[in-house]
Amino acid sequence: MIIDLPGTSTRAINKRLVKARDEGGAVALGRVLTLIIDLAGHDPEEAIAAANEASREHPCRIIVLQDQPGDAPASLDAQIRLGGDAGASEVILLRSAGALCRHADTLVIPLLLPDAPIVVWWPYEAPENPAEHPVGKMAQRRITDSVNADVPSDALRSLASVYSDGDSDLAWTRTTLWRGLIAATLDQPPYEEVQRALVVGESTHPSVDLMAAWLAEALRCPVDVERVAGAPAITQVRLERKSGPIVLDRPDGKTAALTQPGQPEHRIALPIRQLRECLSEELRRLDPDEVYGEVLRKGLTRIES
């Protein structure tokens, strides 16, 4: 069900939500958090679709902030999506114009679920300091996506300079499966020191930088980065050890081959992660991601930009 509310107010939105729940039986009691999506002027549909899918694992209220272009007078249009149009959530799309665009926090506060954690997600441009952003100040977790930055490597280093507990980035989440496989491999004999590491991947993809930074910080060894234009994100991680190299190679973005000395080659399904998968993972934990913080602040300084 989709309800359009042109020229409205947050009070009217709340009243319409209550009426819709009374009429249709939708309830907010099972919502575990409020997810705020700050789109600036971008189209909302891709982000809403990903959030709806993630809400099937994490039922939530989704508040979407979208700025209307131009110099129109201050106004607020809203759209409420419930039922089949909102996954396991309820979506409130707020389209603000004029001076209201600069006061997103005042629009959001009346619509927050009481006594529920708040997560803010910037799918496109990240603010200069997410923790000091008016909406970011309210949140336990703040999620950015440096993949969509104009210069992703610069965006990562900018985020590193202002990092606060609770910050995270989906470029880091996209490395989760790679990090798990590498860690599991190193937990097996012969437990040798890694002498040097290599990460190969798309020339501007920030996950390549974060993967290299994680290896540099965790293994305290030199890490080289080989950048390939047009590659499907990360394509290879190579760890040099005395007994021979460990190589995790995924040239096609779908299936990886793991080779290591004295063992047959293993084929592993390792598809590029979808946006909804990454968002679902981020919503599973509301405590600070300490490893991400260490990699962002210290690991990036160990690799060449």
Assigned domain for 290 exists: no
* Residue 24 pLDDT: 64
> CA-to-CA distance for 298 and 293, rounded, in angstroms?
8
- Quickly state the pLDDT bin for 102 (edges 50, 70, 90): confident
Whether residue 75 is found in the same domain as residue 192: no
Please give the tally of structural domains in the chain.
Answer: 2
Task: Give the model confidence (pLDDT) of 200-216 as tens digits.
Answer: 999 999 999 999 999 99
Whether residue 161 is found in the same domain as residue 245: no
Radius of gyration of the chain (CA): 22
- Quickly state the pLDDT bin for 60 (edges 50, 70, 90): very high
**Of the residues 153, 170, 187, which one is the last residue of a structural domain?**
170
Whether residue 130 is found in the same domain as residue 183: no
> What's the rounded mean pLDDT across residues 100-109?
90
In terms of residue numbers, what domain contains 250?
176-269
Q: What is the mean pLDDT of the chain?
A: 93
Whether residue 128 is found in the same domain as residue 180: no
**Of the residues 126, 144, 170, which one is the last residue of a structural domain?**
170
Residues 6 or more apart in contact with residue 42 via CB below 8 angstroms: 66, 123, 124
More confident residue, 31 or 61: 61
pLDDT above 60 (res 36): yes
Report angle CA 163, 179, 237 to the nearest 5 degrees.
110
CA distances to 7, 125, 140 from 70, rounded to whole Å, are 17, 19, 32
* Residue 305 pLDDT: 59
Whether residue 165 is found in the same domain as residue 185: no
Whether residue 7 is found in the same domain as residue 143: yes
Whether residue 99 is found in the same domain as residue 156: yes
**Of the residues 170, 195, 223, which one is the last residue of a structural domain?**
170
> What's the rounded mean pLDDT across residues 82-87?
76
Whether residue 84 is found in the same domain as residue 183: no
Task: Give the model confidence (pLDDT) of 151-203 as tens digits.
Answer: 999 999 999 999 999 999 999 999 999 999 999 999 999 999 999 999 999 99
* Residue 9 pLDDT: 94
Whether residue 151 is found in the same domain as residue 59: yes
Assigned domain for 275 exists: no
Beta bridge partners of 225: 199
pLDDT above 60 (res 28): no
Whether residue 65 is found in the same domain as residue 191: no
Assigned domain for 62 exists: yes
Per DSSP, 40 falls in state: T
The dihedrals phi and psi of 269, each to the nearest 5 degrees, come to -70, 120
The sign one gets for the Cα dihedral 124, 125, 130, 133 is: negative
Assigned domain for 98 exists: yes
SS3 for 8?
A: coil
**H/E run at residue 62:** strand 60-67
Structure tokens that stand for 37 in this block: 């999506």
pLDDT above 60 (res 282): yes
What is the pTM assigned to this prediction?
0.94
Whether residue 148 is found in the same domain as residue 254: no
Residues 6 or more apart in contact with residue 12 via CB below 8 angstroms: 5
